[in-house]
Amino acid sequence: MSEARKRVEVEASNDNAEHLYTVAEVARLFELPESRVRYWSQTGFISPSIRRGARRFYTFKDLISIKVAKELLDAGLPLQRVRRSLDALRYHLPRVDSPLARLRIRSDSDRILVEDGDTTFEATTGQLLLDFDVDKLRDRVAEVLTLPWVGADQVEPSLGPASAYVAFQRGLEQEEQWDGVTLGSPRFVAAVAAYEQAVELDPSFAAAWTNLGSLLAFTADLDRARDCFDQALQNDPDQPEAQCNLAELALRSGEVELAISGFRQVLRSEPDQLEAHYGLARALLEVGGKGQALAHLERFSVGVQRLPPTERNRELEQRQRQVQRVIVLLRQELG
């Protein structure tokens, strides 16, 4: 038996020894572009279940959800029906007593059925088309993760010119190439236009609303930015980025207590959210809470240091250096 096979079998029988999968591994396993996996995570469609420090990872049960979603979407089912199917599947899987290796997920007429050896139960309703053995998925994981990675280019499948996802991706690309300063630059204007197109095509696209609001905040159009963040939260009430941005707008508007409350709300659900620690520290300094501010600045600085290099841009590193200088001063002042 191969080491990779042993690794995923241990995972099925012992949750404490569960292997965790990165975005790159998930993309490679299911032959998906990494951008698609990240998009699913950012929009809350399928997100990694486990957090380790500042990073998040997928579990084997997450892989089952991705496998189901990919097959149903490939079969032409609407996204909302696939989402309902996944919600039902996630609800039932933790209640199955049998090891995951014994599960078989299939369709019977218009139902998703989960067979766990001796019994069969219905996960959800709807005309769903899939039939796969979870143990075979485990074999696929073992096989793919032991193959050499050749770095072949992956091209995003065409979703049509009127796709909100394509518009969103275009916005991301333009924003990444923007210098972060020049508001009238072609990159900035193109990013705003792309996000506006994305939310026009899909008004429930929470991530696009958040990104659009963030760019509008740069232009000092705080009312429109706030409306965008509100729209994001209406469609994804738990999205920390929109909550954090609303708190930042409150701070910029002089509503310090509201900002403090907003940042703390984010940290209750996302204790490692770096921007919330940074924003809360600034708000606390406004009201003289230097000791608490110091603690949050330290969390921010350590969190940035732990990020992989690919997730640290120049602006973030500059802020970290500024924060480190403030930390030194606060420590001296507080003794």
pLDDT in tens, 39-94: 777 667 788 888 776 577 888 878 877 887 787 777 776 766 677 766 666 665 54
Furthest C-alpha separation in the chain: 71
More confident residue, 277 or 151: 277
The amino acid at residue 42 is Q
User: Would you state the structure tokens that stand for residue 64, as one six-digit string?
Assistant: 């089952």
**What is the phi-psi region of residue 111: left when phi exceeds 0, alpha when psi lies from -120 to 50, beta otherwise?**
beta
- Three-class SS of residue 126? coil
Find the Cα–Cα–Cα–Cα dihedral 239, 247, 273, 302, rounded to 10°: 170
From 12-21, 57-66, 139-148, 250-259, the region with the lowest mean pLDDT? 139-148
pTM: 0.53
For residues 269 and 47, is the Cβ–Cβ distance under 8 A?
A: no
Architecture of domain 3-143: Orthogonal Bundle (1.10)
Residue 220: its H or E element? none
Residue 57: its H or E element? strand 55-57
193-204: average pLDDT: 88
Domain boundaries, the chain: 3-143, 161-237
The residues near 192 (Cβ < 8 Å, ≥ 6 apart) are 171, 212, 215, 216
Residue 156 in this model has a pLDDT that exceeds 50? no
User: What is the topology classification, in CATH, of domain 161-237?
Assistant: 1.25.40
The amino acid at residue 108 is D
